[in-house]
Amino acid sequence: AEADDQLIIDAGQKQFGATVCGSCGMIYSADSLEDNFQHTQFHQSFLDSIKFVGWKKERVVAEFWDGKIILVLPDDPKYAVKKAEDVRRLADNELGFQQVSLSCPSQAKTYLYVNSDRMVVGCLIAEHIRQGFRVLEQPEQTKDMTREDFMEHHRAWCCSTTPEKAICGVSRIWVFSLARRKGIATRMLDTVRNSFMYGGHLTKEEIAFSDPTPDGKLFATKYCEK
C-alpha cells in the first residue's frame, strides 16, 4: 500500500475517510480495523491473479503503446486457461454473478489485455451466438422511481424484445478499476471484431452484450453509436 491515494470525503469526521488503494483499487476506510483486514486479505490475492509472467507461446492478437491483447482458447495449455479463469473470477466477483457459467465453455474465447507493467487489466469473454437483443438507450426517468420499479424496468430497458441476428456474444467485459476510461474496453472489442471469426470482420450490429450492468450499458451504447 505504498502508493495509496487519500480520497478523504471531508465531512468533519475522520471515520468517513475513504481510501483507494493505488495498487489494487479497493476502496476502504483506513480507520476501520475490519476494512483494513479485508483490504489486506484482498490485496495480495488480487495482484497475484492479475500478474502476468509471460508465456512461451502467446497468441498476441493486438499490440498497443501501453500493452497487448492475448487470446486464450479452451484447448490452450493449462497455465493459460488457468490465468483466464482467475481473471474471469475477479470480474465475476465484481459483477456480482457468483457462479454463472458460460453457455458453452468449450467454445468461449477469452481476450486478456496485458499492460506494460505485466498485469492483466482487461478481460473479455466472447461466445458464438445466433441471436441477441439490441442494447437500447436508457430513458432518463429513474428519479421518481421506487427501487422495485427500478429493478423491474431495469431488464426491460437494456434490451429490445425483438431478437436480431448476432454472431458474437460478449458474456463478460471487465477492466481493472484503476485502468478505466483509457479506451481498453473499446480496444478489446475492436480486436474481437477483427479476430473472432477467421478471415472476417464483424460489424457492431453483429455483436451482442449479455445482461449488461449499468457501466456495461453506458459503454455499449457509446461504443455502438461511434
Q: ∠ CA(99), CA(20), CA(100), 5° rounding?
A: 5
Can residue 136 be called a binding residue for ligand ACO (CB under 6 A)? no
**Length of the chain measured in residues:** 226
* 189 lies in the binding site for Zn ion (CB under 5 A): no
- 62 close to 187: Cβ distance less than 8 angstroms: yes
Pairing mode of beta strands 168-175, 18-20: unpaired
Site for ligand ACO, residues 94 to 123, rule: CB under 6 A: 94-95
Q: Which helix (H) or strand (E) holds 111?
A: strand 109-115
Q: How far apart are CA 10 and CA 7, in angstroms?
A: 9
Q: Which of 135, 185, 202, 207 binds ligand ACO (CB under 6 A)?
A: 185
Contacts of 167 (CB under 8 A, 6+ apart): 128, 129, 196, 197, 202, 206, 207
Give which of Zn ion, ligand ACO, none residue 138 binds (C-beta under 5 to 8 Å, depending on kind).
none
Considering only residues 44 through 63, tell me which ones interact with Zn ion, judged by CB under 5 A.
none
- Please state whether beta strands 18-20 and 27-28 pair in parallel, antiparallel, or not at all (unpaired): antiparallel
- Min dist CB 67 to ligand ACO, Å, is 12
Q: Does residue 172 bind ligand ACO (CB under 6 A)?
A: yes
Residue 30 or 61: the one with the smaller Cβ distance to ligand ACO is: 61
170 binds Zn ion (CB under 5 A): no
119 in contact with Zn ion (CB under 5 A)? no
Interaction of residue 184 with ligand ACO, rule CB under 6 A: yes
Q: Are 71 and 110 in contact (CB under 8 A)?
A: yes
29 binding partner (options Zn ion, ligand ACO, none; Cβ < 5 to 8 Å by kind): none
CA distance 168 to 111: 13
Q: Using CB distances below 5 to 8 A depending on partner kind, what does residue 21 bind out of Zn ion, ligand ACO, none?
A: Zn ion
Which stretches of the chain bind Zn ion, using CB under 5 A? 21, 23-24, 43
Which stretches of the chain bind ligand ACO, using CB under 6 A? 94-95, 170, 172-175, 180-186, 209-210, 212-213, 215-216, 218-219, 222
